[in-house]
Structures are given as C-alpha cells and as structure tokens.
C-alpha cells in the first residue's frame, strides 16, 4: 500500500485526469481485492469499463483500464477513481488481502485433492456453461492433435463478422465482442507453435491476417480493439518464424510484400528488421535488394520510402537515408529540413547548412515554406554569428507572410543585429499598405494594429485602428490600454461591443457581457459619473430580467 497515495495517483494520471477521476467515485462498483496486491473493479462512465490496479508490482503502482484512453497505455480517470476508492477503504485492505490469499490457497488445495475423473467432470461442467471457454478448449484440442483443417476452419469462424453484423457491418456496440472472439485466434496459433507445429502456424497466421484485414473494413473499430488483435497476430508470426526457421528468401519476399501494403491494410504492423535473426545474412541481402527495387519503381510511395529509410538507418548509412529523401523533395522545403537534421545528427554541419539553404532557394512560395525550416536556418546563422543573414531571411519571410509572428521574429533578429529602427519602419510601411487594401468583411483585423500593440505603441495602434479599421478583439485590447488615460474613448468601445451581446444567450455570452459591464463601471468611475452607470445597468436589468443566469452573475459582481 505504500505506493498508493493521492500524490502518486496525481503524478501517474496528470492533474486533469486526476481531477476528473474524483468525479467518478460514485461510479465505482464490484471492488475485488486479490491476494497478490491487485484490485479489480468496474467503473460506469459512458460505458462500463473494467479496471485493474496493481498496488505493489515490480514497477510500483500501476494499472490497466479497457477504456480507449487506458488502452493507449495511459493512467486514466477510471484508475484514479478506483485508487481513491481503495484509499478510502485502506484500513480494511490487509484483512481483505489475507482473506483473498486464504481463498486462493483453499481453492488450490481443493483442486489438487480432486481425482482425474472429478477434475474432468468439473471441466466438462464449466465447458457446458461457458461458450467462450468451450471454443478456446476446442481450438487447443485441435492444435494439440495437429488437425490443421479443423484449426483453419475454426479460425475462419472466429474471424467471421456474420454473427455480429445485422446488415453486413459490426456496429460500435458489438465491436469489442467481435474482437474478443477474434483474439482467440492468437492463442490458437501460439498453441500450434508451442506444440511443435510452427510451420503450420506460419501458414495459418498469414491466412488470419488476410481475413482480419478483410473484416476490419466492416467493423466500427473506433476503440482500436482489432489493432490489438493484429498486434497479437504479428507477435505470433514472429514467434512461429523463430521456431520453424522458414526459407530466408521466401520470408524476405513475404515481409517486403507485407511492408508495402500488398498483403493487408497495415492492421498488423510488422517491422522486417525484427526478423533479422531469422533471415540471416542470406535473407537480409534479399530483403534489401527487394526494398531497393520497390523504391526505385516508386520513389514517391510512402511505404517504399519508409522501408528504405528504416533499412538505411539500421545500417547507419546516412547517405542512403538522404538519397531516399532527396528523390522526393517537398516544394515547401520540409524534406530539405529532414535531410539537414539527419546530417546534423551525423555531425556533418556544413552539408546540413547547404541543404537548409537549398530548401529556401527552391521553395516555390516563401509564404508557404515550412516555418520550421526558416527557424532552423536562422538558428544556424545566429550560432555562426551571421546576424545580417538571419535578418535578411527573417525580412524575406515577413515580406512573404506579413503576420504578427513573422513581425516578432524579424524584430528579435534585427534587435540582435542592432538594426531594428530601420527594419521596423519598412515593416510597418508594408503592414500599413496591407491594412489600407484590406477587403471589407475580411475575417480578422489588420496585422498592423497587432504589431503596434506588440511594440507597446498604443497611440499609434489606436490611430491605425481609427484610420484603417480593426476587429472587435483589437478594439477591446486598445480600449483596455487607454482606459486609464482616455476613459471616454474606452467607454465608447465597450458600449459598442456590449450591444450585440444583449441579444444573445448562453453562459459564455453572459460572462463576456458582465466582463464588459465591469469595464464600463470603471470608466464611469474615472469620469465621475456613477449615476449614469446606475441608470444604464437598471435599464439593462429590466430588459434582460428573463435571463436568470445573467441576473445571478450580475448579482455576484454587485452590478
């Protein structure tokens, strides 16, 4: 129990999931304590989820939950809820653990004392009551006696969506049940490998992969259950190959076909390099040869490029990795950046810089260039004390995009190079020209106002907004800046912004409205006209009295 604390639960789950878990305490049911430091329970949320919390495992406190977030390996809110429930009952846990251990020992002793006939009778009774257990044992029996035809037929039955699909499609509500049934295929194939029939297991697992790939298109697998089955099949295939040692060339060809998506739709994610010990030198030569041929035939194919990159990196061949990327350069410079980073990692900075510069030169449109490439190149120029080139690149990028962000980046570079005043004048001239040419009704205010505000040049920003226009967000920011010195101007902005809100409903609207009322009250206080504000609020209350949440919010703020 030492590892089960609120602090550890919060650390594992994160603040957000921890707080959400508090809200699920009443949803925890069926808490069962095991004798080996685990607790299981059900948590009822949008669905019923099964949770297992390990209190004293080798890695400390841990847990599993079958909710979508938990299946991704996260410590979810349901685990938090069970953990907090256990903490609340911690005084009785030692006795519950002792009782669980005693029950387990009693059960083991009882089973050990039964005769063979009594055990068979017990198993037959359970098989008669539990259909899933019967199916699992039927598969094991067929695997044990080497009845491949029966195992193949049973695998096809398990992967058939028919019993779960009303109209040829497995709905979300039935997807997990189908996946649970399909998962029995993995254990059946593992049983074949374990009983010395690994060669047969290879054949059947490949057939199962194709069947699963065909079924997935007709299943709402939003929670990824079939992905888990696919991963299990991939593991079963690798284990069977290691046991059977198939022909290296045949295996290499199959792996290439699988990696290129010719055999399924990627549900069983297999890395050919995991088979390095099975392929041996001969198989690896064939694998690399086939990969190169596939890539040369389709240099822009994602699967072909990924496979080639994976093989090249495994050999530490940086030039081969670069060749793969260089054969399909993106017009926005992203691929040039990938190459530059690979060369930097390989400690070849001069070549990396050349590729980054080439990416900028070859970009068809600097406005659409990968901004990460611009940042990367500017960082390299700055590190080399090439500040003039940093400013030039930031200037070119700003001229192409003319946003607040590119303005800020140009300002930072120019200040470092001690040339900001001249750069600022030219940059603002471009932004002013853009503001004057803005089309009416265009979404968002002019970047000129944002840039001047970011420069803390409030008066110039107010003048620009007056002359070229601004959106409501910008006017609100301007009013907040001038409220202390020009309350009349600020008041005019607030009154204009509040008017359309009075015709809308919703708590978010009411919060905005009250926020503006507080600003309006401050303006009247500065103008020494509180009675005018009182009259405004009285009239507003009369007109909005049916909006009870608004009235409550105004009361809370003494409005």
Kindly tell me if the per-residue pLDDT of 11 is higher than 70.
yes
Q: Hey, what long-range contacts does 545-550 have (CB within 8 A, 24 or more apart)?
A: 547/505, 547/510, 549/507, 549/510, 550/510, 550/513, 550/514
Return the structure tokens found at 557: 């703020």
Burial of 555 (0-12, 13-18, 19+ CB in 10 A): exposed
Q: Which pLDDT band holds residue 493 (cuts at 50, 70, 90)?
A: very high
Are 237 and 186 spatial neighbours (Cβ–Cβ below 8 Å)? no
The distance from CA 411 to its chain's CA centroid, rounded to whole angstroms, is: 34
Buried/exposed 157-196: b ≥16 CB within 10 Å, e otherwise: ebbebeebbeeeebeeebbbebbebbbbbbebbbbbbbee
Q: For residue 491, which of 531, 525, 468 has the smallest C-alpha distance?
A: 525
Task: Summarize pLDDT for 170-183 with one digit per residue, the tens.
Answer: 988 788 888 888 88
Query: CA–CA separation, 217 vs 264, rounded Å?
Result: 11
Q: Return the pLDDT at 195.
A: 81
- Residue 261 vs residue 352, higher pLDDT: 352
Structure confidence at residue 321 as a pLDDT band (50, 70, 90): very high
User: For the segment 378-416, what is each residue's pLDDT rounded down to a tens digit?
Assistant: 999 999 999 999 999 999 999 999 999 999 999 999 999
Question: What's the predicted TM-score (pTM) here?
Answer: 0.68
Can you tell me which residue has the tokens 């009235």? 551
More confident residue, 464 or 174: 464
Give residue limits of the domains in the chain. Answer: 6-113, 386-473, 483-559
The predicted structure's pLDDT at residue 524: 95
Mean pLDDT across the chain, nearest whole number?
Answer: 89
pLDDT at 543 over 70: yes
Q: Tokens for 44?
A: 């009822």
pLDDT surpassing 60 at residue 263: no
Per-residue pLDDT at 35: 65
Which residues, listed in sequence order, are joined to residue 48 by a DSSP beta bridge?
Answer: 44
- Range with the poorest average pLDDT among 114-118, 220-224, 284-288, 343-347: 220-224
Q: Where are the alpha helices (DSSP H) in 217-317?
A: 225-244, 248-259, 276-297, 302-314
Q: In what order do the strands lie in the sheet with 38-44?
A: 28-33, 38-44, 48-57, 60-65
**How far apart are the C-alpha atoms of 511 and 521, rounded to whole Å?**
15
């Amino acid at each position: 129990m030492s590892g089960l604390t609120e602090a550890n639960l919060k650390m594992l789950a994160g603040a957000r999931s921890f707080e959400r878990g508090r809200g699920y305490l009443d949803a925890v049911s069926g808490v069962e304590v095991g004798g080996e430091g685990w607790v299981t329970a059900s948590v009822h949320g949008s669905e019923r989820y099964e949770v297992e919390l390990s209190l004293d495992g080798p890695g400390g406190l841990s847990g599993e939950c079958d909710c979508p977030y938990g299946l991704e390996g996260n410590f979810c809110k349901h685990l938090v809820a069970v953990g907090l429930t256990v903490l609340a009952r911690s005084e009785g846990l030692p006795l519950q653990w002792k009782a669980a251990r005693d029950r387990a020992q009693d059960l083991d002793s009882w089973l050990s004392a039964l005769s063979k006939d009594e055990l068979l009778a017990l198993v037959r009774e359970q098989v008669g009551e539990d259909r899933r257990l019967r199916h699992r044992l039927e598969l094991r029996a067929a695997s044990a006696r080497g009845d491949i035809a029966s195992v193949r037929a049973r695998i096809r039955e398990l992967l058939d969506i028919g019993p779960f699909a009303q109209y040829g499609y497995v709905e979300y509500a039935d997807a997990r049940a189908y996946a649970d049934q399909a998962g029995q295929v993995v254990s059946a194939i593992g049983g074949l490998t374990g009983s010395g029939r690994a060669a047969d297991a290879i054949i059947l697992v490949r057939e199962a992969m194709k069947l699963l790939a065909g079924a997935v298109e007709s299943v709402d697998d939003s929670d990824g259950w079939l992905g888990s089955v696919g991963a299990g099949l991939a593991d079963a295939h690798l284990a069977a190959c290691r046991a059977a040692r198939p022909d290296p060339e045949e295996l290499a060809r199959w792996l290439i076909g699988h990696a290129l998506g010719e055999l399924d739709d990627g549900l069983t994610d297999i890395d050919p390099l995991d088979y390095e010990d099975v392929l041996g030198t001969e198989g690896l030569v064939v694998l690399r040869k086939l990969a190169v041929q596939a890539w040369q035939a389709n240099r822009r194919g994602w699967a072909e490029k990924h496979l080639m990159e994976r093989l090249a990196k495994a050999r530490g061949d940086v030039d081969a990795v670069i060749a793969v990327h260089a054969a399909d350069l993106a017009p926005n410079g992203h691929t040039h950046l990938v190459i530059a980073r690979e060369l930097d990692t390989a400690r070849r900075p001069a070549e990396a810089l050349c590729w980054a510069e080439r990416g900028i030169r070859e970009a068809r449109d600097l406005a659409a260039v990968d901004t990460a490439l611009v940042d990367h190149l500017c960082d390299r120029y700055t590190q080399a004390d090439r500040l003039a080139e940093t400013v030039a690149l930031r200037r070119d990028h700003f001229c192409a995009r003319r946003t607040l962000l590119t303005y800020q980046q140009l300002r930072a570079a120019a200040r470092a190079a001690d040339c900001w005043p001249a750069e600022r004048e030219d940059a603002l001239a471009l932004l002013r020209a853009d503001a004057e040419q803005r089309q009416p009704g265009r979404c968002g205010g002019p970047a000129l106002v944002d840039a001047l505000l970011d420069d803390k040049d409030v008066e110039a920003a107010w003048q620009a907004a007056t002359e070229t226009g601004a959106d409501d967000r910008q006017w609100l920011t301007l009013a907040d800046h001038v409220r202390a010195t020009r309350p009349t101007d600020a008041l005019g902005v607030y009154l204009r912004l509040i008017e359309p809100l009075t015709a809308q409903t919703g708590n978010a609207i009411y919060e905005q409205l009250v926020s503006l009322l507080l600003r309006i009250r401050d303006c009247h206080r500065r103008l020494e006209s509180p009675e005018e504000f009182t009259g405004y609020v009285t009239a507003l209350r009369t007109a909005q009295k049916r909006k009870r949440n608004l009235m409550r919010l105004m009361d809370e703020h003494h409005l």
